[in-house]
Structure 1
C-alpha cells in the first residue's frame, strides 16, 4: 500500500489543528562528523632559481588517526579552459614537489601563467585543495651567476669564458656584466655583453686583478628584465706582459750589461794612462820610526843614547866572511914558499 502524499497529510493535520514540523535541513556529512574532513596543507612556497622549480608546503596538522598522510599536486595553465592535471607528485609522503626532476612534466615554459594546488589524503579522508598564486617562470625566476667560469691571462688582459645560468627559449637571452678591480684599487664594471666570452683589455701588465660576473635575463618581446641577484665567487688572476713590456724586460738587462762593460773598459784605459799617478795616490804613507814616535810622546827621554844603544852591535852577532882567491895568486904564494 502506497503512503499518502505529503499534501494530504498536511491537510489532515491542519484540519486536526496540529502544526506540521518543518522539514529537517540537509546537513553535509562533513559538518555532521568533524573528523571526516582532513586539515589542508599550509604555507605554499614556490622556489624558482635558475633551472629549479620546486613547490613546498607545511604538513597538515596531526590528528588522532595513525594512518599515513599523503599529498597530491596538480597544475593548470591559466587563461585556458583546461582542467587541472596531475604531475609526478601523487600520493607522496614528503612535503615538496620538484617539477624539474623528471616525469611527464619537466619544468614549466617561460611565459605561461601557471597555477598549482595541493591537497592531503589519509585513507578515505581528504582535505580541501590549497591553490598557489599565479606565476610565470621568466617573470618570477631568481637568476644566478654564470656557470663554469674560466679565466685566461693575456698580454695586459684577461679573457673570461662561461656558460649561461640555465637554458632559455628563443624569446629570451642573457646579458652579462663583469666587476673587476686591482688589489687595493677601486671597483670597475664592464658590460653588458651578450656573448659567453669577454675580454678585459687595457689592463696593467704583471698586476693581479680580482673579478666577479653576473647575469641578467632579458625577454625581448615582453620587455621583461630579471636582474641577477647574486654574483659569482671572487677569483684573482695576474696579467701577462704586453709587447712593449716584453721589449723593456729584454732591453733593460742588455742595456745594464752593456753599460757595465763600457764603464769597466773606461776604468781600465784610465788606469793604464795614469798608472804612475794612481800608484802615487794609492801608495802607503811614510811611517815614523818607533824611537821618534816615543820621543814625540816624551821629549825628555835621551833619544841619542837610545839610538846609540839600539845601533851598537850585539855580542852574539857574527859577520860571515867569504874569501875568494884566484889561481894566479895561489901560484905566487907557492913560489914564495919555495
Structure 2
C-alpha cells in the first residue's frame, strides 16, 4: 500500500490551526475571545469589534458583553458628577447646634448660615424624633419651620413642660433657601431628667433662732412627685472664718441649723438635688448666692442682758444727778446770776420815755403839786362808871 505524502497528512492539522487562529465572523465553530483581551480590540474611534486581521463586521457576543460591562463605570461617573453638582448647589450645614436645658427651659440654638453672593434670608427647619421611633417630624406645638431665627424654644404657655421629662429626644436642623437645602445637623439625644441643669432654690428665707438658723426655700421648678423628688443641701460657716460645714439630703424644704454660737454671724448657701428612683438618676443643682444672718441669744442670756442694761442705766442716772448737784453747790453764785431775772423799767417811766414831747420835769412837777386834803371829824364821848350808877339809882 502506497503511503500519502507528508504534506497531505499535515494539511488537516494546518486547517484546524488556521480555523482557531482566524475564525470567520459568521462561522459557528469559531471560539469567542476571552473578555480580558477585549480592550486590545478597541479601534481608533474607541468602538470594540475589530477582529483579528483588521476585519470589521458583527463584533460577536463577546463584544456585546464587553460593551455592556463598559456602561456601568460610565454611568457611575455620571452619577458622581451629578452628586458633585448637587453638593455644590446645597447650603452650608448649620454649625454648633446645642440644646439648652436649664430648669424648665428647652431651647435649641445654632449658628447662622451666611452666603457670600446671596442677600436673601436663609430660613431654618427643625424636626424631632423619639429614641423609640425612626420617624422624623416637625414639632406640633411650636412653629420651628421656615423661621429666620437661630433658635427654637419648645416651651410655650400652652405647653410649659415642652418635651416630656422621661422621653428621649433627637433633634435636627437644616438651612433652606428656595429650592436649596443643607444637610441635617443633628443634636445628640437628650432626656430632661438626665441632662437638665438645675438652678439654685427660690425664695430663700433665713429666720434667726436661739443659737440656730431656720431656713425656708422653694424648689427651682415643679416636678411630678411620682417621677422625681427634690432634696436640699446646705453649706454654712461662721463669718469669722471657721471651716465650712454641710447638711445633706434633707427632704423637707424647712431646714434647721442648730448648735450654733449665740449672737454670731453665719453665712450659708443652699442647693437642691433631683432624685429619680425609677430611672436611677441623681442630678445636683447649683448653689444659691451667699446669705449671712446673726443668731439670737438664749433665753437666760437675754435675761442677764436685760438686768445688766437696767442696772447700767440706773447707775448712770445716779451719777449724773450727783454730778449736777455738786456743780450747783460749787457754782451757786453763777447759777443765781444765770437764772436771775433782769431789771425792768417801771411802766410810768417807760411811757414817759416813749413820749418825748412831754418833759420829764413837767411830769414830776405835775405829780408834786399840792392836793386838797379831805377828812372827817370824829367826837369821842366817854362816861364814867360812877355817873352811870347815880343815874340808874335816881330812876
TM-score, scaled to structure 2: 0.56
CA-CA distance at 1:226 after TM superposition: 0.9
CA-CA distance at 1:164 after TM superposition: 0.5
CA-CA distance at 1:138 after TM superposition: 1.0
Q: Residues of 2 paired with 1:156 and 1:198: CA distance?
A: 14
- 3-state SS, counterpart of residue 180 of structure 1: strand
Answer whether contact 2:104 2:160 (CA < 8 A) is retained.
no
Partner of 1:285: none
Partner of 2:115: 62
CA-atom RMSD, angstroms? 3.0
Partner of 2:183: 128
Q: Residues of 1 paired with 2:166 and 2:202: CA distance?
A: 24
- 3-state SS, counterpart of residue 223 of structure 2: coil
Query: Which shows bigger deviation, 102-111 or 91-100?
Result: 102-111
1:118 to 173, 177, 180: 173
Q: CA 1:152–1:209 in structure 2 vs 1: closer, same or farther (change >3 Å)?
A: same
Gaps of 5+ in 1: 1-13, 265-338
Partner of 1:239: 295
Deviations 1:202-231 (A, max 9, x none): 222221111111111111112210112x31
1:138 to 193, 202, 219: 193
1:154-303 matches, within 5 Å, as 154-170=209-225, 171-184=227-240, 185-228=242-285, 230-253=286-309
Gaps of 5+ in 2: 1-55, 320-395
Answer whether contact 1:88 1:103 (CA < 8 A) is retained.
no
Partner of 1:97: 152
- Larger C-alpha radius of gyration, 1 or 2? 2
Q: Residues of 2 paired with 1:148 and 1:82: CA distance?
A: 43
CA-CA distance at 1:120 after TM superposition: 0.5
- 3-state SS, counterpart of residue 52 of structure 1: coil
CA-CA distance at 1:43 after TM superposition: 1.4
Answer whether contact 2:127 2:172 (CA < 8 A) is retained.
yes
CA-CA distance at 1:22 after TM superposition: 3.1
Larger relative strand fraction: 1
Q: How many residues in Structure 1 have an aligned counterpart in Structure 2?
A: 249
CA-CA distance at 1:233 after TM superposition: 0.6
Q: CA 1:88–1:102 in structure 2 vs 1: closer, same or farther (change >3 Å)?
A: farther
Answer whether contact 1:205 1:245 (CA < 8 A) is retained.
no
- Say whether 1:74 aligns with 2:131: no
- Higher RCO, 1 vs 2 (CA within 8 Å, ≥6 residues apart): 1
TM-score, scaled to structure 1: 0.65
Q: CA 1:82–1:105 in structure 2 vs 1: closer, same or farther (change >3 Å)?
A: farther
CA-CA distance at 1:254 after TM superposition: 5.9
Q: Residues of 1 paired with 2:174 and 2:57: CA distance?
A: 54
